[in-house]
Structure 1
């Protein structure tokens, strides 16, 4: 996802190499990588803790299941709130919407009854959206307007979705 953000930034015609571009891009990479996708990993750990405890009995989820689930949910809450706050305060509203979409897809990937990962098509599509497409669009949006009639949007739709 971090590289996808970088590709979006490089594709933005208004992104000039400067300290501001590097710092703003790094903040976006931090937002998408550790915060949004970290939340997705945590919610997946929460819902898969019982299966992981059976398959890997030496993991903390097997030794301390209640504590593990509590910490996973705390991590989900902290990362989600931090991601939405940074997206709302530091970036355009469209990037905030992309972050919220990424968080919702991550929850749907693991949470019953949706559990996108049980269906190969839906699970893979949700991974592609959250790991490649949404971060790339966010990188592009950080430095350029994303009008549906532009070459940027046509290129994005043609090659990523």
Structure 2
């Protein structure tokens, strides 16, 4: 897949993206929302290879600098639907990049015949659900204590609520 917007290129990962991937993934090691506690710089090689082979992870590249600043995830789900997710380098927050990228990806997927695209996030993750609303998704559900990304001091899972947002293909 390759999608161009005014400022971005959304495309498959390439080996040359390893340093940029490592930069934003290391920011997520201790992230409050969906952290990657096991990620290290040494694991960047295997992670970039995994993403290069995946048809669910797409690099978000700035057109002007060719820097990969994050990714958009498009998980294949039952009933001709996709789950969308996104991660953005902290140095590029609040500039509209993920909104711009998600709008383009949703349009692309709908033209390809996908019926429904949905996303989940913690209610406390206001920037994430605001993106979902900006791209036209509607809140459909509030699931209580249904996911866990972290453990407490005793190693027990800490469960989070999630909002579920979706948009239907009306093309």
Indicate whether the TM-score tops 0.5. Answer: no
Select the structure that is richer in helix: 1
TM-score by length of 2: 0.31
